[in-house]
Structures are given as C-alpha cells and as structure tokens.
A and B are shown apart, each in its own frame.
Chain A
Amino acid sequence: MSTSPVKTANLTTTQMAEQVLDQVMSAGATGDLIVDEGETLSLKACDGELEEYKVSSSRIFGLRVIKNGHIGTAYSEAVDADALGSMVGQALNNASFGKVESHENILPNSEHLKTDDELLCPQEQVSIEQKIEMALEIERKLTAKDKVKNVPYNGVQDITSQRQIFSSAGLNALTRSRMCASYAYALVEDGEKNAMQGSSQVSRLFSGLSASTIIDKTYDKCIGLLDGKPVPSKHYDVIFDTECQVSAFAVFAMMFSGKAAKDGINPMRDKIGSVIADSRLTIYDHPLNVDGFGYHLFDAEGTATEKTELVIDGCLQTLIHNSATASYFDTKTTGHASRGPRSTLGVNLHQVEIARGSEDLSALHSGEYLELTDLTGLHSGANAISGNFSFGASGYLCKDGERIQAVRAITVAGNFYEMLNKISMIGNQQNWNEGRSALMPSIRFSDVAISG
C-alpha cells in the first residue's frame, strides 16, 4: 500500500493530524487518530539518598481506519514524515485482512471539545527540591520506625498527560490532566517474623500529598500483620477493605462489557432486566464526579459521558457500549468507548460508584467476620467468564469491630457472580480507593470459603 509521506517538520500536532487524516481520506477511507503526549518526573529513595531520578517526555500517534467496512489500526512513536506515512499505509494494509464490521463507523461528530485545565491539570509553585525532600522524608522516617528493616519500594511522581482525538468527521477533542502520587512499601522484621505492606495516594496537586499519611498508613499495615497466622478453614463473613473490594470488582468488570457480550464471553449478556445481585446493591458508572481520577467528559469517540445506571436494586440495567457495540445490540452508545493509540475500539468503565447502603459501622461490624486488607494473585486467580476465583489473602479476624487476630497465609475462593447474591449488609458510608478510581461503601459478604 503506497502513501505519500506526511511532511512533519515544524508542524503542530493538530497540523500533523490533519495531514494524516487527509491521507486516510485520500485513500477512500475514514478514520480517527489519537495522539497521547506526556511528561513524567519519578523519584525513588534508598538509604537516605535519592536512588532514582527519572524524567521523560513521550508522544505516540495511534490511527484507526475504516475502508469498505474493514477496520485497521497502526501506531507510531516516531513522528517524522516517513514514520507517519508508514503508519497510514500499515493501517490501510491491516484493514484489508479483517472481516467487514458493519457496526463500526467513525461517528459523525465534528465537535471541538476541551476539558478544563484548571480542574484537571492545575499548576502550582513547587520546586524540584520539595519533591525530592518528600521522597527522602518518606523513606527516612519509615526506615527510622521500630522493626522497619527497609523501605525497598517507594517514590514520588508528578505526571502530566495529554490526549487529543481527531477524526475524519472533524472531531477535535483535547483533555489534559495531572496526577501527583506517592507510595511506599516497607519490610518489617521481628525475629523470625516479617511482613511487607504498602500504601499510596494521589492528588491533582503536589501540595495535596502528605508524607505523614503514607508513612503512618504503611507502618500501621506492616505492624498490624506482623503476627499474622492462618485461621481454620471454613466459611466466614468477609468484608474487603476498599482497596481489595475495588480490585475485586475491577477483575470482574467484564460483566458490564458490551464488547465482551458481542464477542460471546460475557455471562451477563442475556441478563439485562434480570436480578443478578442482592436487592440492596446499586452500581453506577459516574464519570462526571470531579473528585475522582476516573473523571471523563467524553469517551474515546468524543461521545459525551453521563452517569450510567448499571445495577439498580440488584437488577442489571444495561451493559456499557461504544457506538459499534451499541449498533450491534440496536441500542445507543453509553459513552464508554475506549481506545488507546495501540489498541482497537473497546469499552471501559470510567469511575464505578456503588450506592451507600443503610447499615452503620456497628451493624456492619457486628459479630465475627474477616476483614481482608490484602489480596494477591488477582491477575491470575480469577476467571471473569465463569466468575470463579481463588486469591491469596491477609487481614484480620474481627469481632464486633475489634481486630482480634491478624491473619495471613490464607486463601479466599468462590464465584464472584454468586457472591453478589450473598451480600449480608452494605455500609452507609462511601470511600474512595487510594487511586481515587472508584467510590464504594463497605459490603459484608456471607458464607465465603476461606482456607488456612
């Protein structure tokens, strides 16, 4: 497939995008182009000194073309004329091998969209020395605490990223965001006993980070589990902490995917309108909650997002769709199109929110239950198609809100989709996870298999 080279010298990103899409249209195709750019500062400390100082700048172009109903994608991190011309040629060539996807089209969306920089990408007066000092402080003060052997994984990051989406229909969408983060994982030892735990935090501003919060939280988690031991194998009531609960829901997020339903692997495909969970469970996707880092004003096709009701009172309301999966199921896109520069069109949840329940802490924490604060093997121990899972776990055996024994070296196993019907109570307070990507109350599940 021959294409004329794009001339890129001294051109802006928008001008380069226009030239790429001109080439696409000249070849009788339509297309859209994602341009991701980013700058990152990453700091790590070891033994009181700065161990790693990393700066980066990156840019990548990702093209999707549609020609005679065939889809092709290609990407390039090189942005010289030859590279971008080659990218167009590759995308067109790749399209020639695919089946006709009659449902996938470039949306007739010519809007110019831009998110609020002051909201998502605020700036502040902060020096590199202050960031370095925070990295050193976290490592130094944690290391100085009783029983802490070292803090092998720690860091402070300041990441600015920008995404532009252009289409042959005239779409020009820009979003820019900033995320500052800090994290620490400490190893504590006491004789033969040891434990390694960590925590993290994110903020739009560096001034929103707190070294003392990371230090105290990480230390408390480590010390809390130092004396951990297994509990007898049996079925327990279980409350996952917010991190674990968000992770578990994320592992099985495919249950809401219109793309997975189209591909025949979503077990919820035929259950819209059916009860799939306890009647007290209500789940939204809420991309317009500005307090979270899953905030999105528009999706990867430039479709405006909105709060989506996924499960209301235990009943599945909808799957999430991009324009292609929506067309396949003869419904409307829900504004959940996802696509990276290297990937094809898919769907993704933006920011899951579970509605608060009615139980206060004293009710939620009544009697005996296991509070699980760490799950391992999430990437390998779960099957989102069947719902079966088996994870390593740590946490606490609790009674009436009191932690009476630290618990380690256990597994938690079951079927996630069945567990949604074994909800005992839902708390009346919502909490963000550390990455501020989901907002959920505590849920108490009953009859969960624990092996120790």
Chain B
Amino acid sequence: MLNSQTAESVIDHALSLGADFAELFVEKNETNVVSTLSDEVQSVESGINFGIGLRLVYGTKVLYGYTNKTDQDELLRIASVLAAKDLRDPVSTLKSFNFNQISDIHPARKILSVDAEIESKVAYLMAADRAARAAGEQISQTRGSCMQREQHVEIFNSEGLHTNDRRNYIRSSLTAIASDAGEQATGSWNDGGLLGWEIEAGINPQHTGEEAARQALVNLTAKPCPSGRMPVIIGNGFGGVIFHEACGHLLETTSVAKKASVFHDQLGEMIASSIVNAVDDGTMANEWGSINIDDEGMPTQRTQLIKDGQLTNFLVDRIGAQQTGFARSGSGRRESYKFAPASRMRNTFIEPGDAKMDDMIASIDKGIYASHMGGGSVQPGTGEFNFAVTEGYYIENGKIQYPVKAATLISTGPKVLKEISMIGQDFSLACGMCGSISGAVPTTVGQATLKVDDILVGGNA
C-alpha cells in the first residue's frame, strides 16, 4: 500500500532527527454493515478507512502522528513536526527492509473485497427474525446486524521489518425486544470470527432468533434482583468478561509499566485460587480475537497468564518490554492507524475445570446465577470492576427460584480471583469489543460456568 522507497525515506529522515526507533503503520480498511429492523432492511452502509500512522521513539517517549495522505512530503513533514522538540544527532541507522511474508493461520474464503454477499446476509437475518418472532407473541421487534470488515495492514520499521497482513472480520447479531403491558425487555445473540461469510455454514439463524427471543421473554418476567454480598455462579462464554475486566486489563504492560496495576509487582505470586488457569491466545484458528501478527509486526503467541493460581506472564508490547524488561508477547494492538499500539488482550479465557453445574447450584443457600453477562469496566489502579448481568436467576436453598433483572456485580480483581471456588466443564468463547488506550479492538472472552463465593450484587429489590 506504501511504496518501500517512500517508507525508507521517511524512516531514514526520522532516524536522522535522532529517533531511536521509527515505524510506519499503513492501513486500508473496508467495512460493510447490513442492518435490519424486524423483517425489513434498515440500511446497508459501507466505506473505506485509509491512513498511515508514524511512530517515533526517543527513549521511552512516544511521538505519534497520522495522516490520510500517502505522499512522501506529508510523511516527512509529520516526522519533522513530531521530532521538532527532540532533535539530536542520529543514534540509529536503518537496517535494510527484509520483507517477511507471514503465514496466514486464519484463512478466509468469502471475503468482502470479492463479494459483500448482501443478499445472503439479509436472508440470514430475516430467518433469525422469523425464528425470534415465532418464539412468542410478545416479541414485538428484532434488530439485526451483520458487519464484515477487511483490514489490510503494512508495517515498516527502522529495524528492517517489512511485513503485511490481511484480517477478515465477520460478526452478526440479533436483538429481540419483548413487550407486554407497557414493559419492554431485550435479549440478544451474536456470532463472530476472524474469517469471511463462510461463517454462515457454522451458525444457525433459528438458534440465533430463538436464543435472543428466549432471553427477552425471560427478562420480561424477571423480578427486581436482591442485593448484597452473596455467592454468584457466572455462566460460560461471555461470562468470561469477569476475567477480562477483573484481571486481563491489569496484566497489560500499559498499566503494569506505570505501576498503575495492582498486579504490577505480583509476578510469581499466587493471585488467584489454585484452581484458576488463565490464558491469552492470539493463535486460535479464526477466533474473533485472533491475529497473525500484532500491530507492531510480531507473530502472535499463546500466553499463559495464570497457572494454578500463580501469575506467570504479562501481556507485553514493544514499549512495555522496554519499560519492564519482559519479553514481548505479540500483544501490541490498536484500533486503527489513528492510535499508537499498546499491550492488549486477544482471546482471553479461564481454562475449564471439572465441577458440575448441578453441584454449583446445590451449594448455594442464597445467591445468583448470572447465565448471561453484559459488558463492564475496570479501574486498573485499584482493580475495582463492575459488570452487568443481562440474564440472571435468584437461587435459594440450592435451587433456581426466579429470573431477576437490573443486576450489576462489583468487586476488585485481586479479591474475586481468590473467590473462585468451582469451575465447570462447559467451556465456550464469545466475542466482544474491548476499548482502551489504543482504541477498540476485537477480543474474545471465555470460560466454563464457574462459582465465585462472594461478590457484591447490586439490585433493586
């Protein structure tokens, strides 16, 4: 996408201004979104994002600029503007570019640049809508979406790196709205992956529609949630957002290097219950949070974060490695050329255990089963997190009693990790978007159903 000679001139120029390291991140990103409202196409939107990010590093200081233009003069100008306050004699020289053709471990077939397959996506969403509305008369509406993106990146740096990658993202979702006597409730289901529209063969519109409708109908009858400290069973799949928020963000060198994470000095320490094993893995074939290379050009890895409760690794990008001394983990990610990369999660999950669901329920006198979770957030410095329960049930005397609504779970990362007492066998993954310092990136969360012995439930009962 960018002429190698132009890249060489710009990086040469940056190094002549005294930078220790210079990098160009070139991105072209084509997106198509099909949206439906019940049984009608609401809109089809498409577009192209294109730009170049230039990063100069002086010591641990990062200078970053970006532009939509590709001409050499503009890139040289940005380099000069960035370096204006840090000019010094050259300390590095450009090593010759050595183009590295990566091996694509996430192949895709039905990609956007070949065919947006709009008719097929509309047919899928219409089928999901029919399935949802057939689930009950109270399903008043559905909102469907199918997003496909093809991102081309090309990376050059002053160490001679020249590589590129093509990432194909697909994600479809359906939200069902149930209405009754002035009350409204919602339920949703989504699928996604790092592949093309061939995902259609592995997903089922009937299941998508029925599951979204089932949640909406359950929530329509839900009672206000009891509040207070109590044991909580957290469902599989997107329930893994608890680990993502409670621990994952705190293991990124973005916060570790600044000592803005409660875990920054805990490597080798027992930070979780001994039954907890946690992983961040960018190599899982065609998963939503996977990558071939990170946005600094490094091949991705599988990183064991916690082993038998002991903290074993952090997620490390280039600057994080420089600041902490830990080896890079292929975790330097960014939303687009508009962001400098930072250490970020990929597919992050707690590995399955051997507990049975029935035993978990039976072990609780008064508590909550949070079968589906919404999003959440964390304060890395203190470890305080919150996340929303989108489908939950009150448990009493070892039995599920009734559905509850409007519940939030809050605690701190260090505390909740030690409160995990049972981990089930029904491991699954779910996709989401994670927002942080380098923008919103696709990430997968996952776990089997697990039990936390003590957590604050915020309800309205």
Chain A residues close to B by CB (< 8 Å): 46, 49-60, 62, 71-79, 83, 86-87, 90, 94-95, 97-99, 128-129, 132, 149-150, 152-153, 185, 187, 194-196, 230, 233, 263-265, 267, 341-344, 376-377, 379-381, 383, 385-386, 388-392, 408-415, 449, 451-452
Q: Of the candidates A98, A128, A449, which one forms a contact with B459 in the assembled complex, judged by CB atoms under 8 Å apart?
A: A449
A89 CB to nearest chain B CB (Å): 10
Q: Mark interface residues in B155-199 (1 if CB within 8 Å of A CB, else 0).
A: 000000000000000000000010000111110000000000000
Name 10 A/B residue pairs within 8 A (Cβ), A-sorted: A51-B60, A53-B64, A78-B68, A97-B34, A99-B42, A196-B381, A265-B141, A379-B375, A379-B377, A415-B406
Contacts A77-B48, A449-B460 known; A46 to B68 CB distance under 8 Å?
no
- The segment from B205-213, B303-311, B384-392 that touches chain A is B384-392
Closest Cβ neighbor of A45 among chain B residues:
B61
**CB distance B459 to A54 under 8 Å?**
no
**CB distance B64 to A413 under 8 Å?**
no
**CB distance B458 to A391 under 8 Å?**
yes
Contacts A187-B382, A377-B376, A451-B227 known; A58 to B66 CB distance under 8 Å?
yes
**CB distance A52 to B64 under 8 Å?**
yes
Q: Of the candidates B28, B82, B228, B379, which one forms a contact with A233 in the assembled complex, judged by CB atoms under 8 Å apart?
A: B228
Report the bound CA distance from A71 to B380 in whole Å.
44
Report the bound CA distance from A381 to B64 in whole Å.
35
Report the bound CA distance from A49 to B40 in whole Å.
55
**CB distance B458 to A451 under 8 Å?**
yes
Q: Of the candidates A46, A194, A390, which one forms a contact with B258 in the assembled complex, judged by CB atoms under 8 Å apart?
A: A46
Main secondary structure on A side of the interface with B = strand
**CB distance B408 to A390 under 8 Å?**
yes
Q: Tell me if B98 counts as interface (CB < 8 A to partner A).
A: no
Q: Of the candidates A79, A233, A411, which one forms a contact with B408 in the assembled complex, judged by CB atoms under 8 Å apart?
A: A411
Q: How many pairs of residues, A versus B, come closer than 8 Å at their CB atoms?
A: 240
Q: Of the candidates B46, B185, B260, B382, which one forms a contact with A94 in the assembled complex, judged by CB atoms under 8 Å apart?
A: B46
Main secondary structure on B side of the interface with A = strand
Contacts A52-B340, A55-B81, A265-B177 known; A149 to B259 CB distance under 8 Å?
yes
| Chain B residues closer than 8 Å to A57, beta-carbon distance | 66-69
B49 CB to nearest chain A CB (Å): 5
**CB distance B184 to A54 under 8 Å?**
no
A399 CB to nearest chain B CB (Å): 23
**CB distance A99 to B227 under 8 Å?**
no
**CB distance A414 to B460 under 8 Å?**
yes
Closest Cβ neighbor of A194 among chain B residues:
B382
**CB distance B46 to A74 under 8 Å?**
yes
Q: Of the candidates B118, B177, B260, which one forms a contact with A97 in the assembled complex, judged by CB atoms under 8 Å apart?
A: B118
| Chain B residues closer than 8 Å to A71, beta-carbon distance | 43
B62 CB to nearest chain A CB (Å): 5
**CB distance B44 to A97 under 8 Å?**
yes
Closest Cβ neighbor of A75 among chain B residues:
B47
| Chain A residues closer than 8 Å to B64, beta-carbon distance | 52-55
Report the bound CA distance from A265 to B140 in whole Å.
9
Q: Of the candidates A132, A342, A380, A385, which one forms a contact with B85 in the assembled complex, judged by CB atoms under 8 Å apart?
A: A132
| Chain B residues closer than 8 Å to A452, beta-carbon distance | 456
**CB distance A187 to B260 under 8 Å?**
yes
A247 CB to nearest chain B CB (Å): 13
Q: Tell me if B90 counts as interface (CB < 8 A to partner A).
A: no
A97 CB to nearest chain B CB (Å): 5
Which 4 A-B pairs give the minimum distances between C-beta atoms? A411-B458, A451-B227, A380-B375, A75-B47
